[in-house]
Chains A and B, each alone.
Chain A
Amino acid sequence: TAGCPFHHRPSASRSRGRNYEAELQRCRPEVALVEFGDYHPLKPIMVTDTKTRHGARKGSTSSSSSSSSSVPPDPLSSMLDGTDPLSMFAAASASETPAISRSRKEKEEEAVGADFEPWSSKRGEILARFTTTEKLSINLFMGSDRGKAPSPGSSAVSEKVRTRLEELDDLEEGSQRELLNLSQQDYANRIEELNQSLKEAWASDQKVKALKIVIQCSKLLSDTSVIQFYPSKFVLITDILDTFGQLVYDRIWSMCSDPRPLPDSFTVDDVNDTAKETCLNWFFKIASIRELLPRLYVEAAILKCNRFLNKSGIQETLPRLTAMIKGIGDPLVAAYTRAYLCRVGVEVAPHLKDSLNQNFFDLLGTFRQIGGESVRKQLALQRVEAPEYLTLYSPAISWILQCIAYRAPEDYVNCAEIWVEFTCRHFTKREVNTILADIIKHMTPDRAFEDAYSQLQSVIRKILTYFHDFSVLFSMERFLPFLDMFQKDSVRVEVCRSIMEIFIKHQLDLTRDPVILNAMLHICKTMHDSVNALTLEDERRSLALLIIGFIRMVSFGRDFEQQLSFCVEARATFCNLEPVLVQLIHTVNQLAMETRRVMRGSHSRKTAAFVRACAAYSFITIPSLSSIFSRLSLYLLSGQVALANQCLSQADAFLKAAVSILPEVPRSISVEGKLRSSESFLLDFTNNFLAMLLVVPDHPEHGVLYLVRGLLNMVQDYTWEDNSDAKVRVYVSALPLLAAMGQETYVYSVPKVDSNETLYGGDPKFLSEINKLCETLIGQILDHLKVLGRDEGTRRQGALAFSLFGVLLAHGDLRNNKLSQLAVNLWNLSHKHGHCEPRVSVRTLEFVKHQAQQPDMSHLSDTVQRLTLQSRT
């Protein structure tokens, strides 16, 4: 041909003349015509069983024999003999199977990762475990293969191989071959020989024979005699199926390797028509295998080949094969078929989980078969006990479960979530701990826990439902590590919160258990540390309440020092939550009082030092609070506690501190989110404070009534609201205190603390100090009343005058004419503008009259005469 590039062209042309088409042809492997029928899958295998049961009659029939007189010669095998046109098509593209590089195979296996325990590591284990000393048999029925062709290319086949193949040919003469009395080792050897024969038949292009070997081997799996060996038999025979699957796959793959090898990630579009046709033929051929078990196993073995035909092939085949297994009556055979299907499925398409799950559910669905009559009979016949029989299932079930669980954190955690409840209900903390450890193991890689917070939370909830004893709960080693998986702040806090809620609800006894304390501190700290500037007030409050709930349950019993140091630690840990600090101060105050109770009021040197330490704790903690009223009331309370414990200078310090921060009280404060005047709170506090001052002895280095004066000075200097009577009200309130201080015996006192009554012992100087102070106060009050009269504040004037009248009546000595006159004037003033409630006035008068009848009170009769009720008109 003129354009042939091989011709030497002696021209001077610079570029060589090219015929690209021809070059391409040259690069292709030489097309050698193969005798059709030699290797092609569509060749004779189709129907090897000719005991046809003829059923061409219409309607249902029944006969008691399977024999039929009208059996025609098997039309299929005769029809296919060498005339199959499809074989011919495929033959046109036949070429030698190139060796598949090792690396490619390895890459393909990486579809399941290194974290998947491979079948290869299981198989040895199974072979070693399921053994027998009974004699085994292999029953091969190779069917008739009349038109067998001599193996082509025999020069390429070694002498040994040829001999073996010839043996196989003998075996194939339409007859059955039964190998009896095999020991276990013999059996394994025979199967391995078959495996070799398979490879040799394949290598010598006897594909049909290869398929026959595989079918016959699969059939052996329906034989359950010597049942205790069945798992091992499964291992040996599925090796052959694996070999076959790989051979077919590699063969079709190599058909597409022209002009360049298929990439691993090839798609259907990369596969040429010839390869597709060959592949399709394999599937057609397998679809016509008569018996169920070999059809299932062989189709499963070449599952991967679906990749050559269409995208969804594997996805559609797996559920179909799974459903087909329901047709297998023997439960053990069915279980192992499922295991094989899962094995192939997980290798080829690890992402397809549905069929794996379905296999497991179907397995459970047919579990009743195990106790059925057929199985019982079989076991009786083989003299195998039921418990031993059940262990035969374990490799299959464990493999299926391993496949299901592989890289299935979601599925895994859904199961674990259910399992943990079962375990909690029926087992002890040890088993629950094991589950927790397992969950941690599964959920930690790749931070899988991030997608499973709701399930993990549910695990915690379930544990908390069943374990209310927190010493047991926290003694599970993996409980806190489990909590560490909640790394998203909001979830973490929510989990801690749920634990705390259960704790508060169910922890009825005070505790000092270090396990509980450590764990709870950890949990509370987590909650505390979640608080930041953006945390809502509500959230803060509820977290604080939970932490307070914990602190209130902590008690070290008589070990007060330990308790105090716990409070010290807690203060450092929870410093951002004010309510918690308040609680800690209360706790410490309570501790001091408890110490006092234990010592029956008389402290030893040691306990005295301890209660002073408590006072010190409160004293340095209170200033860190931002709420002024919390500070004030805690100073007052801690002062009272200090006084009760005979810590005079500490009590002084508290009260002085309280007085000194009074000017800081703002005129309005926020109460439940609304701004309100602080006046009433402040009045309440000063009244409380005044009541306390009665029992506080004067400090020897300060003047008489140092604290009272200090308070009143602060009250005077405080910037009260305009038009407010508050300051004067404090003055009115101070009068009863001063009156009480002048008594010989005080109305109340603190045991073992000498109040001013004892200190001064009714010293006239002291009394005159009191009187002076009273005069000053009354003077101030009267001045204020005058101002009110001017400013048209007559209603306020009346009320204030009336309250001062009340104080004078109750505490004043009205024998003093001046005072008596003042009282009458105040009465009149309060009634001057008719703002007085007449009923109150009437009742007051009745009270005074009644008082006048008491001994030593007759002077009141005069006064009462002068108190007149004025009608409003």
Chain B
Amino acid sequence: RYVRQLQRLQLLFSPTAADARGARQFVEEAAQDFARQHPDVVLYVSPHSGPGPAPVLRAEYLNGTVRDELIASKTSEEILQLATKLASQSGLDIIRIRKPFHTDNPSVQGQWHPLTNKPSSLTVQGPRLQPQ
């Protein structure tokens, strides 16, 4: 069955800073709907008073990765999009994919090895030799 890999989202923002306006609007309007639509993600909203670090959306995944995304000067819709994107990701590191293709069944009839098409020493048929 499908298990969502996102465990919890922490929304750390300041109630007075100017760049956290989108975060505050998100909390007022869209956070409850988001939490209702994703019941397996725990959403923590923690406003820290006074000037502090930039507003950040911290995502924790089941394999332990913690990803911080800056939401300074973003609108509420953008933050919602970002949250849904994080909710559908797995916690694997985001690195360059070396090949855009992968297969679990590289060989259907069996991989070739030097003895594939060689006749067995037991049944050697030729113009003169008879099968044993």
Instruction: Please indicate whether A and B come from the same complex rather than being unrelated chains.
Output: no
Q: Which residues of A contact B (CB under 8 A)?
A: none
Interface of B with A (CB < 8 Å)?
none
